Amino acid sequence: MSAEILIVDDNADIRFILDELLKDSGYKTRLAANYNQALTEIDKKLPDVAIIDVKLDKGDNDGILLLDHIKKKNTDLPVIMISGHANIEMAVNSLKSGAFEFIQKPFDKERLLNFVNRAVENYNLKNENKNLNTKLFHTFELVGKSSNILSIKDQINKLSKSESRIFISGPTGSGKELISRKIHKNSKRKDGPFIIINGALLDAKKYELELFGEEKKDGSIFYGALEKASKGILLIDEVTEIPLETQSKILRVVIDQKFKRINSNHDIKVDVRIICTNSKDVKNEIKLGNFREDLFHRLNVFNINIDPLNKRIDDIPILIDYFIENICEANNFKKFKIHDNNYLLNYDWPGNVRELRNLIERIAILSPEDDNQRLMNIIKESLSKSVEDDFSVTETLTVPLKEARETFEKQYLISQLRKFSGNISKTAKFIGMERSALHRKLKLLGVKDLN
């Protein structure tokens, strides 16, 4: 479906020229000859792009008033301002008010058409991003009852009301992006974009291009992540992977709240909330000289830490049921039940929640139905490492009995403690030991507090 362009100009010849130019290019058009007509058209139905003359019939800046009116209705809608009485101040004021571009009469037809094409592309991109975000928000939830997850949910509620920069730490696959999306969904920026840039996946030569954008020689613009995220949230994933030279420029953006595109001298003001995530030990990266300490302190206004899944054993049964329900319903698969979770509770989960989700999806696709043995075979074949490997007889045959017994006891007690989130009383009751005796045994085996 072709985009619809609203043309607002009190000059009939200009309206005719623009109308013909845009229709020949495949666009739909609507026309308004004065301020009141334009207001009626805008309130009746918002276009995809508006081209507005700065000076109409009510004063020198009534076009700017229409621009403000549109932006209140939809901040993402691109508006191209035109004027036959242009000066630098007028152009700057238009851009400050949110205009997508400013062009002076008489204008070059190809140049104006290029502006319109880019405006439509920009608007469609933002709409696609919103639709994707909405779909993701409705598809995934932050699930669990562990103290770590409950604390994070409380933090999300509090941080959603602020504009503070956030640094989220946690292992790969633990849910850092999901936390970021939930903050966006609940914040006052929820109607703005949510843009992700991954520091670990980018070509080292393209970091600044992807962040800041570029003004090309032909006059076209490549919009970077900072501009795409305007009035929304920019998530910088694996931020410590970004080169030091680019880190210094990000620091300057955070301090000055502005930046320049590549090949441009024009400052662009930043209206974006930054969230960073990282799976490495940030303090160690700073110590090694891989990450700037001053940038970390600027980005780490508020810190969220998400634990690995093997420290959130209470969450595993809930996540299993959630993923079975979610995946089977979304793909019209037959629902199934895992009757014995012990194998999964004792697994180390190096891939965290993402690995668990992938496992459930694999089981759903292979459809074991009510064959519990086949289901367990799928689980054992799918997981790269199981707790049974830790307790394997072949390993203990090479050591004295006392050492083998201690190894088994240590692994057994660690797995039971994880089941009960480190709660000594619950663990002691389950394994049939006195609480004080369990304390002494743990101390003897060198098992530290798992909380």
Residue 178 pLDDT level (bands cut at 50, 70, 90):
very high
Question: What are the beta bridge partners of residue 198?
Answer: 237
Q: What is the DSSP letter of 34?
A: S
Q: What is the pLDDT of residues 325-376, one digit of tens each?
A: 988 887 788 888 888 888 888 888 988 999 999 899 888 887 666 677 778 8
98 residue type, one letter: G
CA 146 to chain CA centroid, Å, is 23
The CATH classification number of 4-120 equals: 3.40.50.2300
99, pLDDT greater than 60: yes
pLDDT at 240: 93
**CA gap 433, 410 in Å, rounded:** 15
**CA gap 142, 180 in Å, rounded:** 11
CA 299 to chain CA centroid, Å, is 16
pLDDT at 392: 45
pLDDT at 405: 67
Q: How many residues does the chain have?
A: 451
pLDDT at 372: 76
pLDDT at 389: 44
What percentage of the chain reaches a pLDDT higher than 70?
Answer: 87
- Fold of the domain spanning 147-307: Rossmann fold (3.40.50)
**CA gap 409, 438 in Å, rounded:** 11
Other residues' Cβ atoms within 10 Å of the Cβ of residue 429: 14
**CA gap 225, 234 in Å, rounded:** 7
443, pLDDT greater than 90: no
pLDDT at 433: 82
pTM of the model: 0.60
Select, from the ranges 128-132, 206-210, 400-404, 440-444, the one with the highest average predicted confidence (pLDDT). 206-210
| Token pair listed for 77 | 């809608």
Walk across the sheet containing 101-104 and list its strands. Answer: 28-32, 4-8, 49-53, 79-83, 101-104
pLDDT at 403: 65
What percentage of the chain reaches a pLDDT higher than 90?
Answer: 40
Phi, psi angle pair for 393, to nearest 5°: -70, -35
**Helices marked H in 332-434 — which ranges?**
342-346, 352-366, 372-382, 387-390, 393-396, 401-419, 424-431
pLDDT at 129: 62
Higher-confidence position of 427 and 248: 248
**Helices marked H in 8-79 — which ranges?**
12-24, 35-44, 62-73
pLDDT at 249: 93
Q: What is the mean pLDDT of residues 435-446?
A: 83
Pick the CATH number of 310-386 from 3.90.226.10, 1.10.8.60, 2.40.40.20, 3.40.640.10: 1.10.8.60
269, pLDDT greater than 70: yes
- Name the least confident of 149-153, 181-185, 292-296, 330-334: 330-334
Residue 278 pLDDT level (bands cut at 50, 70, 90):
very high
Q: 4-120 and 147-307 share one CATH topology?
A: yes
Q: What is the mean pLDDT of residues 423-430?
A: 83
138, pLDDT greater than 80: no
Rounded to 5 degrees, what angle do the CA atoms 284, 287, 289 make? 115
3-class secondary structure, 269: strand
Q: What is the pLDDT of residues 391-424, one digit of tens each?
A: 444 444 445 656 666 776 777 788 777 777 778 8
**CA gap 232, 75 in Å, rounded:** 11
| Token pair listed for 449 | 């507090």
**CA gap 280, 170 in Å, rounded:** 8
233, pLDDT greater than 50: yes
Q: What is the mean pLDDT of residues 115-132?
A: 77
Distances in Å between the Cα of 308 and the Cα atoms of 52, 114, 227, 410 are 54, 49, 34, 20
Q: Which CATH class is domain 391-445?
A: mainly alpha
**CA gap 433, 427 in Å, rounded:** 8
**CA gap 11, 83 in Å, rounded:** 11
Select, from the ranges 194-208, 312-326, 339-353, the one with the highest average predicted confidence (pLDDT). 312-326
Domain boundaries, given as residue ranges, for the chain: 4-120, 147-307, 310-386, 391-445
Average predicted confidence (pLDDT) for the chain: 84
| Token pair listed for 283 | 């303090």
| Contact (CB, 8 A) for 421 and 411 | no
- The position carrying tokens 């891989």 is 290
pLDDT at 15: 92
Residue 137 pLDDT level (bands cut at 50, 70, 90):
very low
284 contact partners, CB below 8 Å, separation of at least 6 = none
